[in-house]
Structure 1
Amino acid sequence: MSQHSKELSVALRAVHLASLLTKQHLLTYQSTTRRVDESTKADASEVTVADFAAQAVLISIIHHVFPNDSFIAEESSEMLRSDDALLGRVWELVLGASKLQGQSKRSWSDSALDVKLPTSQEEMLSVIDLGQQDDKEKASSNSGRTWILDPIDGTKTYIRGQQYAVCLCLIDDSEQKVAVLGCPNLNLEQRGENGRVTIEETIVDLNPNGGWILSALKGHGTYLSRTASPASRQKAEDVLGPSLHDHDPQAPAPAQAQQAQSKPFLHFTDSSASPHVSKDLHNRIFEHFAPHSSPDSAPHTRKLSIPAVPEGTPSLALDIWSMQLKYVLLALRAEGADAMVRMPPQSTYHAAVWDHAGGQLLLTESGGVLTDAHRKGFVIDGKTRKLEGNWGVCAVRGGRHMGVDGGSLEADKVHEVLISKVTEEVSSRRKGREDKDEND
């Protein structure tokens, strides 16, 4: 038995139940032609009753089995404690999880795991707040391990019935060891260029038990299982087919390619509506590696269909709102998703750990290459809620990539070319700002 195999098993069951819960809530509201019950947090971001309920379910299950472990999670109980009506709606959804628990239990051959759910509103509130533990509370635990979770990554598109992810990751010894992402709306039936799977916001699996769960144990690869049969884990390449891992299966092998500095053709995944990226910098990078001379002719260009992006806004990349879904696209080597950059507009911006923990492990275990914009590996040690030691993201899917010379490059060579361009653009932007300050 591999180290952390029990943790993986428990995480799979927790994410499976939370996936069923969020999907049922979504479909219930869609069937009654109402919008998902949403509220607005202090930072102006959306939150739904499903966010709170899913967080309560995830933490309750993990905490029951590993009581000494710590948690970092996005939501807190503050809104619920000040709004009795909202609290009641969340509690009703958590109570509904008990019914789904029986369905979930039948999906596993080993049903010995005692899935513990909150038994009162106060217990539910306390469980939710385990995700808000401060450093002193974490230090009081004996395990030195932290579970990082995002109950719904992509709330904005979840509300619209599009893609979202239920995310859970175990940090042990300052490393990502276990990752489980539930993607209840993910549909892998459509194939695009060269037979690669096509993943978009609006290509949705509407089945109540639909979607997929991605999982990884460090050092053991990335796996897929259907939400309807979560225990049947298969290597991602066995589900999608090994030929899907290359941009062009007929391309010359790496040894036949030109020098490593040959420029690759790259399609990027992005979220053009995000306020946390430099759109001008992104577009310069996208244009540099674009396989097509005109953005209008690029078949991978798809605008994100959420109100934050005005109609007619050009996009040079495959738009996916959820941060974690971008890692999923790269891990599954989807059409139009060869690489990803995330360049914040401010040097002081650091992303939340729950937007990246887990998805990063899925990517690297699938053969992908990942650093921040300063060529540093990511440090997610389970002690802070922000990626304070990292800035930006530069990621490349695994497998071979087509080069401009007709040959192909491995992922590490592609990443080196990409990060060199990123460094050049960041330096140019910094110099431009310095020159402007001098002139002012």
Structure 2
Amino acid sequence: MFSREVKLAQLAVKRASLLTKRISDEIAARTVGGISKSDDSPVTVGDFAAQSIIINSIKKAFPNDEVVGEEDSAMLKKDPKLAEKVLEEIKWVQEQDKANNGSLSLLNSVDEVCDAIDGGSSEGGRQGRIWALDPIDGTKGFLRGDQFAVCLALIVDGVVKVGVIGCPNLPFDLQNKSKGKGGLFTAAEGVGSYYQNLFEEILPLESSKRITMNNSLSFDTCRVCEGVEKGHSSHGLQGLIKEKLQIKSKSANLDSQAKYCALSRGDAEIYLRLPKDVNYREKIWDHAAGNILIKESGGIVSDIYGNQLDFGNGRELNSQGIIAASKNLHSDIITAVKSIIGDRGQDLEKYI
């Protein structure tokens, strides 16, 4: 039903992934950080370039669609040198990926780049077709040359229908990292979740590898994914939950929605993201693509109380934290969480 949208999303995410991979490798090699936002999280040329590439292609293919994006062009308009650097990187990847220039819309000027970036100003909502975009998810991993992801999802009337995630540095096998790295993960409602090599020609879904979560492991043999940064989730509370469930394996710590990707292909069975702030609400672009990837691979995603995530609420989810897990484990995890923080989270503040 969404075959045209899937193809466009795959091509755009791949192009943005090639660009951001190049920049990430350069930054990591010279250990230079990015530009500082007001919230002190780094912004890089890659954010602006990736957002403009993807939104420009969406707007040309589906002109009436809206996009919820993370960035705006104000910084570029104030800094011509930065803007020219962004355009330079875009022109590089358009040349490197020129086989797909006929399918993706090209950017040739700073004005076009800024217009594309500002096309991500949608407030979201329950009506219509809205794309949720995170041009670089896992910025600190990006700056370290470690895990990051380019994430794009199509939401129709508040429900995620398509999700595509590019993970340039994710190993083919988390247990054997010598096998290579780079994955393109795709999910469409009712069609399933699929995986292929990010750096090879994109295949039709039916010709790529269908992936499923492992719904047979118990807590004493399952594997857990958590974030790297302790500022993003409560590792202490997550440790209590793992102890209560008698989980024995050491967690795999990954930046970005690469955690969703790892679960979807059976590298792990649980993803824990317990909040560090009772008032914090997750952004929809941080979870929309991962949400459908897990669902279509046979798992469950919810907030920490077991409620489904609502992607029609606006730019933010009106819920606390994230629990993604295989179907046979999810309900017991929610029970464990509630036994520690209370059924309504009345004791949550004790642990954050």
Structure 1 residues 313-368: Cα deviation after superposition (integer angstroms, max 9, x where no partner): xxxx221121x11111111110xx22122221332110111110101100110001
Q: Distance in 2 between matches of 1:368 and 1:44?
A: 34
Does the alignment pair 1:430 with 2:346?
yes
Q: Which amino acid aligns with 1:415?
A: H
Is 1:187 the counterpart of 2:171 in the alignment? yes
1:387 to 311, 317, 342: 317
Q: Please state whether the residue corresponding to 1:277 is helix, strand or coil.
A: coil
Alignment-mate amino acid for residue 361 of structure 1: I
Q: 1:338 to 1:124 in 2, by over 3 A?
A: same
Cα separation, 1, equivalents of 2:24 and 2:220? 40
Give the match for residue 214 of structure 1: 185
The structure 1 residue matched to 2:240, chosen from 284, 287, 294, is 284
1:347 aligned residue: 278
Aligned length: 349
Tell me the residue number matched to 2:214. 245
The change in CA–CA distance for 1:265 and 1:132 in structure 2 (over 3 A counts) is same
How far apart are the structure 2 equivalents of 1:239 and 1:370? 19
Q: What does residue 20 of structure 2 align with?
A: 22
CA displacement, residues 295-324 of structure 1 (integer Å, 9 cap, x when unaligned): xxxxx43xxxxxxxxxxxxxxx221121x1
- Partner SS state of residue 81, structure 1: helix
Q: Name the CA shift for 1:129/1:191 in 2 (closer, same or farther; >3 Å).
A: closer
Q: Name the CA distance, whole Å, in 2 between partners of 1:222 and 1:233.
A: 12
Distance 1:75 1:433 in 2: 31
Per-residue deviation, 1:375: 1.8
CA–CA separation in structure 2 for the residues paired with 1:279 and 1:67: 42
Q: State how far apart, in whole Å, the 2-side matches of 1:219 and 1:68 are.
A: 24
Amino acid at match of 1:285: I
| C-alpha distance 291-384 of structure 1, shift in aligned 2 (>3 A) | closer
Aligned to 1:365: 296
Q: 1:160 offset after TM fit, Å?
A: 1.5
Displacement of 1:384 in angstroms is 1.4
Cα drift, residue 117 of structure 1? 2.2
Q: Residues of 1 paired with 2:85 and 2:7: CA distance?
A: 30
Decide whether the 8 Å contact of 1:178 with 1:217 is kept in 2.
Answer: yes
State the secondary structure of the residue aligned to 1:358: helix
Change (3 A) 1:191 1:344: closer
Q: CA deviation at 1:37?
A: 6.2
Q: Which runs of 5+ in 1 are unaligned?
A: 106-110, 193-197, 249-261, 293-299, 302-316, 398-410, 435-440
Are 2:87 and 2:108, in contact at CA under 8 Å, matched by a contact in 1? no
% identical aligned pairs: 32
Quick check: 1:120 aligned with 2:109? Answer: yes
1:9 aligns with 2:14: no
Residues 246 and 427 of structure 1: is their aligned pair in 2 closer, same or farther, counting only changes over 3 Å?
A: closer
Contact in 2 for aligned 1:267/1:286 (Cα 8 Å): no
Structure 1 equivalent of residue 199 of structure 2: 228
Change in CA separation of 1:276 and 1:98 when aligned onto 2, cut-off 3 Å = closer
| Counterpart residue type for residue 239 of structure 2 | N
The match for 1:165 is 149
For the 8 Å contact 1:266–1:290, the answer to whether it is kept is no
Whether contact under 8 Å (1:225, 1:234) holds in the other structure is no
**Deviation at 1:95?**
2.1
Corresponding residue for 1:406? none
Deviation of the 1:265 alpha carbon:
4.7
Alpha carbons 2:214, 2:269 under 8 Å: kept: no
CA drift of 1:218 comes to: 0.5
Distance in 2, Cα, partners of 1:187 & 1:287:
28
Given the alignment, which residue of 57, 61, 64 partners 1:61?
57
Shift of 1:279: 2.6
Please give the alpha-carbon distance, in whole angstroms, between the structure 1 residues aligned to 2:42 and 2:187. 29
Q: What residue in structure 2 maps to residue 309 of structure 1?
A: none
| CA shift digits 1:204-243 (9 cap, x unpaired) | 94xxxx6121001101110112123342255799577x8x
Following TM superposition, by how much is the alpha carbon of 1:432 offset from its aligned partner in structure 2, in angstroms?
8.2
Q: Compute the TM-score of the two structures, normalised by the length of structure 2.
A: 0.89
1-side partners of 2:296 and 2:253: how far apart? 24
1:81 paired with 2:77, answer yes
Q: Which amino acid aligns with 2:70?
A: E
* Aligned counterparts of 1:126 and 1:263: Cα–Cα separation in 2: 49
Q: For each residue in 1:14-45, what CA deviation from the matched residue of structure 2 results, as whole angstroms up to 9, or x when unmatched? A: 11111111123334556xx4236621111100
CA contact (8 A) 2:278 2:349 kept: no
Query: Would you say the 8 A contact 2:263–2:269 is kept in 1?
Result: yes
**In structure 2, what is the Cα distance between the partners aligned to 1:378 and 1:221?**
19
1: CA distance, partners of 2:179 / 2:294? 22
Runs ≥4 residues deviating over 4 A: 233-240, 262-265, 431-434
